[in-house]
Amino acid sequence: MKRAYSLLAERSVRLLQNEAPQLPSDAVIFSMIQPTGDFHLGNYLGANKVWKQIQDEKLPSQTCLFGVADLHAITVAKLDAPKFKQLRIQAIASILALGISPEKCIVSFQSMIPEHSQLNWLLATITSMGYLNRMTQWKSKSVGMDEDQVKLGLFAYPVLQAADILLYDSTHVPVGEDQKQHLELTRYIVRRFNKMYKGEYLVEPQTVFTPTKKVLSLTNPTKKMSKSDPDPMSRIYLTDTPECIQRKIKKCLTDSITDAFYYDPEARPGVSNLINIVSGLQNKTVAQVEEDIKHMRDYRAFKGYVSDMIIEELAPVRTRYESLIKDPAYLMEVATKGSLERARPIAQRTIKRLMDRMGF
């Protein structure tokens, strides 16, 4: 029987600006990111910055697991194997560049731990097709595809995501707003399994929402910032040079109002997106950022201010990344130790507990 958690009755924790995550002393914090290239500013403010905050506040009795969801990455076929391998290494470098310590946290490759796939199958047998068919993300990713092009992995990947979380008895999962539905599915699976097998065998995790609202595309602020956008000017990577950041912010889409800058996501989505970015970088509320910029009367000053904030925040991340990526052997060593020596023993205990109860 699993230990009880005092906060499990709550569905989510929503962090406020300047608020350190207040988590139970026995919390297990889990999050992963796909190896689709360098992290961008949306990834950073949507989840990755909170990883570092959680690590820095971590108690010895808490467990942090951060990793690379490389099995999820193949829901869209990766035909260039050497490139995919490099993307996986880059993802580990990016995690460490954020300031994540492999001594304080478990850093792993999902694919190195076969129990992820094993639990995925066990959970798939109790997850309804109807629930999966209501998931919005697979629908958005399959737009324009016919039935033959939409693969089972793309349709059912939320079950694997649930398995990732539940494999470690995770109690808290820091994510952006776009992952809300996936965490709801995870809790649904937990309740179904526990009801079927008459006990608390799986832990129901809480969603930890980051304080920054969704970061939008610099060229089309009606969409979120994404690596899949064909326009490279739409996003800022954590490894972009200061000159590149300045160029992207200078050319980003705003509006024709030049004598005042304020937050209005409906009427001024481009300006509001930039204010939201500064809010996340500075750990300030939107109102505080508006107060800081109220004296500005032209886009040169406003966009220069935004560029300076981004450059200052990302400079140490870029420096660490450039150093780490030169040593792929070290990065593989970190991922291998984290996966096989630290994460997998936890995963094996969970699988044994569940399979024993299921009669295997």
Tens-digit pLDDT profile for the chain (360 aa)?
A: 344 333 333 456 665 555 556 789 999 999 999 998 778 999 899 888 889 999 999 999 999 999 999 999 998 877 799 999 999 999 999 999 999 999 999 999 999 999 999 999 999 999 999 999 888 877 777 777 777 778 899 899 999 999 999 999 999 999 877 788 899 999 999 999 999 999 999 999 999 888 788 899 999 999 999 888 889 999 999 999 999 999 999 999 999 999 899 999 999 999 999 999 999 999 899 999 999 999 999 999 999 999 999 999 999 999 999 999 999 999 999 999 999 999 999 999 999 999 999 999
**Nearest Cα to Cα of residue 20 among 61, 44, 53:** 53
Asked if 224 is an active-site residue, the reply is: yes
C-alpha distances in Å from residue 73, one per residue of 84, 190, 214, 282: 9, 24, 22, 31
DSSP 8-state assignment for residue 20: P
DSSP 8-state assignment for residue 37: S
- The answer to whether 10 touches 209, Cβ cutoff 8 Å, is no
148-183 as b/e: b if 16+ CB within 10 A: eeeeeebbbbbbbbbbbbbbbbbbbbbbbeebeebb
- The answer to whether 131 touches 188, Cβ cutoff 8 Å, is yes
C-alpha distances in Å from residue 167, one per residue of 204, 256, 352: 12, 51, 11
Indicate the helix (H) or strand (E) that contains 303.
Answer: helix 299-324
Which one of 52, 85, 141, 214 is the catalytic residue? 141
Q: How far is the C-alpha of 360 from the C-alpha of 162, rounded, in Å?
A: 21
Asked if 58 is an active-site residue, the reply is: no
For residue 347, the tally of other CB atoms under 10 A from its CB is: 21
Which one of 78, 214, 227, 337 is the catalytic residue? 227
Q: What is the dihedral of CA 35, 36, 37, 42, to 10 degrees?
A: -100
Asked if 227 is an active-site residue, the reply is: yes
